């Protein structure tokens, strides 16, 4: 078995869109019903922001659910980001044991996997640790994931770190993908996502855009 290759520092330890693939796991009503590590609406906001960012940077995104007939369909706001994609519906609790998901990742040819899931201690930790053990660099988006308790979430993050998985939040992922504000095509597309999903940062950014618009109008 190939050992993990995760780099702990240096430029190559940062995410780049052309090297990344995103897996979003089990953001379904049943999973949200027993989510107690975070305010559920925050996870909804963050995972949708993450998904929209992936779209901006053309990062291949794999959607997956577990036993959809019982757990419910993927939440609408997330499905709406990828309206034509049907999530892979699994019976495997560990997503990385479902060959369809693994094959989808392999087809991208990318080695940096960004993951978010409900719940952290099960549906995120299991595939993250498994994939890291097969040589992938795995980044766990902790604020687009959540567990049945704060303790469960925290212990899962600690366990993943011990296995070489890198914890990160969704805004950091988007920022590493952007890397340089001079990249105007993506920065213009990322702006509205920040306004809608980045909380106080988005509010401040919206205010800045408003001021810029007023100055442009005054100078016309």
Residues labelled catalytic: 123
Rounded distance between C-alpha atoms, residue 105 and residue 20, angstroms: 10
Residue in the block written with tokens 């979003």 = 24
For residue 202, give every residue at least 6 positions away whose Cβ sits within 8 Å of its Cβ, in sequence order, or none.
194, 195, 196
DSSP structure string for 65-106: EESHHHH-PPPHHHHTTSTTPPPEEES-SSGGG-HHHHHHHH
Neighbours of 128 (CB within 10 A): 33
Per the CB < 8 A criterion, the answer to whether 132 and 138 are in contact is yes
**DSSP letter at 19?**
G
**DSSP letter at 11?**
G
Per the CB < 8 A criterion, the answer to whether 120 and 38 are in contact is no
Per the CB < 8 A criterion, the answer to whether 113 and 23 are in contact is yes
Q: What is the 3-state secondary structure (H, E, C) of 103-166?
A: HHHHHHCCCEEEEEEECHHHHHHHHHHHHHHCCCEEEEEHHHCECCCHHHHHHHHHHHHHCCCE
């Amino acid at each position: 078995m190939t050992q993990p290759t995760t780099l702990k520092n240096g430029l190559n330890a940062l995410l780049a869109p052309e090297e990344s693939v995103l897996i979003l796991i089990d953001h379904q009503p049943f999973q949200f019903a027993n989510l107690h590590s975070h305010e559920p609406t925050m996870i909804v906001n963050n995972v949708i922001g993450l998904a929209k960012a992936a779209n901006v940077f053309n990062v291949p995104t794999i959607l997956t659910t577990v036993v959809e007939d019982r757990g419910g369909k993927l939440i609408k706001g997330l499905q709406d980001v990828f309206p034509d994609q049907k999530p892979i519906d699994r019976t495997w609790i560990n997503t990385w044991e479902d060959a369809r998901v693994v094959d989808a990742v392999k087809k991208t040819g990318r080695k940096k996997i960004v993951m978010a899931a409900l719940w952290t201690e099960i549906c995120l930790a299991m595939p993250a640790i498994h994939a890291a053990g097969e040589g992938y660099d795995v980044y766990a988006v902790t604020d687009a994931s959540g567990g049945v308790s704060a303790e469960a979430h925290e212990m899962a993050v600690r366990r993943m770190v011990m296995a070489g998985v890198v914890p990160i939040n969704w805004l950091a992922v988007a920022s590493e993908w952007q890397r340089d504000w001079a990249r105007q095509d993506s920065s213009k597309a990322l702006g509205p996502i920040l306004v809608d999903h980045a909380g106080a940062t988005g509010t401040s950014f919206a205010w800045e855009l408003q001021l810029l618009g007023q100055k442009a109008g005054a100078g016309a």
